[in-house]
Amino acid sequence: MRHKSGSHPKTKIGVLYGGRSGEHNVSLCSAASVVYALDQNKYEVIAIGIDRDGRWYVQDKPEILPDKDFGQILSLKKRGKWLVNHFEQENKLHIYNIENKNEEVIIDIVFPVLHGNYGEDGTLQGLLELAMVPYVGADVAGSAVGIDKDIAKRLLREAGIPVVPSLTISKHQWQDNPGIIIQDALSKLGMTLFVKPLCTGSSVGVKKVKGKELLPEAIDFAFQFDTRIMIEKAIDCREIECAVLGNENPAASILGEITPNHEFYSYEAKYIDPNGATMKIPADIDGNLAGLIRKAAVKGYIALACSSLARVDFFLDKKTNEFYLNEINTLPGFTSISMYPKLWEATGLKYSDLLDKLIALALERHRNKMNIKTDCI
C-alpha cells in the first residue's frame, strides 16, 4: 500500500536504549547520536527507553539533552505502562500501553543501542528471535559469546588467535579458597594484574593491581558486578582497535589507537574525564603488521559467530610488537565520536551511511533465517 503522495511508508525503526546494565548512561549517549543521524526521510524513528529496572517506555517526543559527563544524552521519560508482545510473530514487534489501550506501537526493525548485560549478552536478542523481528547487531550466539570474556578466549585460542594469559574464578571458588587463588594468580600471571568482571564492558568494575596486598580488594570489587571474574596478566602495550562490519563476508576498517592519559583505559578515562584519552586514526603501525591485525580481527569475528558489527580490541606489546586479541564488543559505543563509527568514517563510510548499512544487514540476516525449515516434513 502506498501513501497518497505515491511514496512507500517509512520503515519504523525502534531504537532501544538505556537498560539494566552498569553502562546505562553510556547507552543514553550513544542513542542520542543514532536517533539524530538516522535519515528521517527513510525511517520513522521510535525511541524506546528501558529503565534500570528493565521496564520499557515508548517515548512521546524524545529530547537530546546536555549532560555534564557525556556531552549529550537521549532523555528517558517514564510514561505509561508498556507491554511487549512477542507472540504476534508477523516480523514486527508490537508494544502496547496498557494504561491507554488505544495506544499501540508497531516496529519493523529494532536497533538496539544497549551496552552490557540484558542488551548485549543475547537476552534481548533471544526475545527478538522469538518475535521473528529483524534487529541490528550480533544474534543470540554471537552476543552471548562475545560478552563472556572466558568463553571468547577459549574460542579464540581454538582458532589460533593469541590472547593474554588469564585465570577465571567464580564467587564460590573465591569464598572457599582465597589464598590458593591469590597464589595461583601471582605464580602463573605475574605481580601486575588486571581484575575484570567477566561479562561487563566499558571497563566497569576493572582494576589494575600491582602486588599481592591489593589483589583481594580488587577481586571483591569486581564481584560486585558479576558472579564470575577474570584475573589477567598485565601487558605493557598499545591499545589498538578495529571495526568489523558484515554478515557472511565481514570487512575490517583501518586501525585506530587509544592512548589513555590514566594508568589504563578505565571507565573514567573513557567517559568522565574529557582528557582521559587520545584517539589516533589511523594508528601508526607498520603496514604488514596492520594487515595481520586486520585479518585477525575478521578471523576472531567469525570464530565468535558475530554478525552485523563488532569492534575488535587488541593489545600490541610495546617491546615485542606481538599482538593479542583482548575482546570483541558486539554493540560498541555509538556516539558520533566513538571509535567504531570514526574508524569507518576514516575508511570511507560516513556515520549516516553506516547506520543504513547496519539496517540492510539486519534485513539480510532476517531473510536468511526466515528461509530455514522448521519442520521435518
Q: Flag the least confident range among 140-154, 205-219, 354-368.
A: 205-219
Q: What is the mean pLDDT of residues 37-61?
A: 94
Query: What is the pLDDT at residue 266?
Result: 45
List of E strands, 122-234: 166-170, 192-197, 207-210, 228-233
Q: Flag the least confident range among 88-92, 192-196, 237-241, 279-283.
A: 88-92
**Does residue 351 carry a pLDDT above 90?**
yes
> pLDDT tens digits, residue range 178-214?
999 999 999 999 999 999 999 876 567 899 999 889 9
Q: What whole-number distance in Å separates Cα of residue 115 and Cα of residue 202?
A: 8
Contact (CB, 8 A) for 357 and 53? no
Q: What is the mean pLDDT of residues 274-278?
A: 66
CB atoms under 10 Å from CB of 231, counted, come to 25
| Cβ neighbourhood burial of 80 (10 Å; 0-12, 13-18, 19+) | middle
Percent of the chain with pLDDT over 90: 74
Query: What is the pLDDT at residue 91?
Result: 86
> pLDDT tens digits, residue range 85-104?
767 667 899 999 999 888 99
Query: Sorting pLDDT into bands at 50, 70 and 90, what band is 1?
Result: very low
> pLDDT tens digits, residue range 179-188?
999 999 999 9
Q: What whole-number distance in Å separates Cα of residue 354 and Cα of residue 338?
A: 13
Q: Higher model confidence: residue 259 or residue 252?
A: 252
Contact (CB, 8 A) for 339 and 277? no
CB atoms under 10 Å from CB of 292, counted, come to 13
Element (H, E) at 234: none
Q: What is the mean pLDDT of residues 134-152?
A: 96
Contact (CB, 8 A) for 142 and 307? yes
| Cβ neighbourhood burial of 152 (10 Å; 0-12, 13-18, 19+) | buried
Strand 251-260 to 277-280 pairing: antiparallel
Query: What is the pLDDT at residue 2?
Result: 38
Element (H, E) at 92: none
List of E strands, the chain: 11-18, 43-50, 56-58, 64-67, 71-74, 82-85, 93-97, 104-107, 109-113, 166-170, 192-197, 207-210, 228-233, 237-246, 251-260, 277-280, 308-317, 323-329
pTM of this structure: 0.90
For cell 539486519, what's the residue? 362
| Cβ neighbourhood burial of 141 (10 Å; 0-12, 13-18, 19+) | middle
Query: What is the pLDDT at residue 7?
Result: 60
Query: What is the pLDDT at residue 88?
Result: 66
Query: Sorting pLDDT into bands at 50, 70 and 90, what band is 304?
Result: very high
What structural domains and CATH numbers belong to the chain? 11-135 (3.40.50.20), 146-161+236-368 (3.30.470.20), 166-233 (3.30.1490.20)
Q: Which among 242, 329, 343, 340 has a CA at the least distance from the CA of 293?
A: 242
Q: What whole-number distance in Å separates Cα of residue 183 and Cα of residue 23?
A: 32
> pLDDT tens digits, residue range 74-84?
999 999 999 98
**Does residue 61 carry a pLDDT above 90?**
no
Contact (CB, 8 A) for 198 and 228? yes
Query: What is the pLDDT at residue 373?
Result: 76
Q: 230 has which bridge partners?
A: 168, 196
**Does residue 32 carry a pLDDT above 90?**
yes
Query: What is the pLDDT at residue 5?
Result: 47
Query: Sorting pLDDT into bands at 50, 70 and 90, what band is 171?
Result: very high
> pLDDT tens digits, residue range 325-347?
999 999 998 887 789 999 999 99
